[in-house]
A and B are shown apart, each in its own frame.
Chain A
Amino acid sequence: QKEVEQNSGPLSVPEGAIASLNCTYSDRGSQSFFWYRQYSGKSPELIMFIYSNGDKEDGRFTAQLNKASQYVSLLIRDSQPSDSATYLCAVNSPGYALNFGKGTSLLVTP
């Protein structure tokens, strides 16, 4: 069973600060890494994804990969109260499956 681990939180940051979310994965063969945001009672919403060949920045969000240490991070700059949600990390396994972490709860306080 391939594992994806996330700190459940809650991670609390003040409005305007940088929120840093991390997940570790066990399968060295993983090549695709996804971050989803899930508001309470809603479905997961794709925020960003990166492949093993590099990091990506999109607006206030940056996804980074550290292959040697097998962790992926999501940075949210200028955090807003509307960013308060659970963030799910997902890592691919060879074939068709994504392995999801249990998510990190983020709370941005005004």
Chain B
Amino acid sequence: NAGVTQTPKFRILKIGQSMTLQCTQDMNHNYMYWYRQDPGMGLKLIYYSVGAGITDKGEVPNGYNVSRSTTEDFPLRLELAAPSQTSVYFCASSKKDSNQPQHFGDGTRLSIL
């Protein structure tokens, strides 16, 4: 009963490096989401996907890319990491649209130095 699994849990990057945050879910949910959470700022939607092969931008997509080749996986790619991308990143999934509850992974804490 894993739910939404994110890896890694922690990572430190240098400015300009790239990395991929992994997210996989085993609930057969069609919809998946990436959020970032900064202290005191709430959750901001980066990208979301309504099914394999379909992705769309959220509120704060700049500096990030996503892909959705399977129902289970929704990786988030950071190109040319910047200090402003220091944050906690959460992946979530839901059965269908925003009328359904979203279930969150444990998060990835990312620091860019």
Whether A88 touches B104, Cβ cut-off 8 Å, given contacts A32-B98, A98-B98, is no
Whether A42 touches B106, Cβ cut-off 8 Å, given contacts A31-B99, A49-B101, A95-B97, is yes
CB distance from A35 to the nearest CB of B (A): 10
Whether A102 touches B40, Cβ cut-off 8 Å, given contacts A43-B90, A96-B31, is yes
Contact of B98 among A42, A88, A96, A103 (CB under 8 A): A96
- List residues of chain A with CB within 8 A of the CB of B105: 43
The proximity string for B residues 29-48 relative to A, scoring 1 for CB distances below 8 Å and 0 otherwise, is: 00100000000111101001
Interface residue range, chain B: 20 to 34
**Contact between B42 and A46 (Cβ–Cβ < 8 Å)?**
no
- List residues of chain A with CB within 8 A of the CB of B98: 32, 92-98
Q: B50 within 8 Å of A by Cβ?
A: yes
Residues of B within 8 A of A (CB): 31, 40-43, 45, 48, 50, 56, 58-59, 90, 97-107
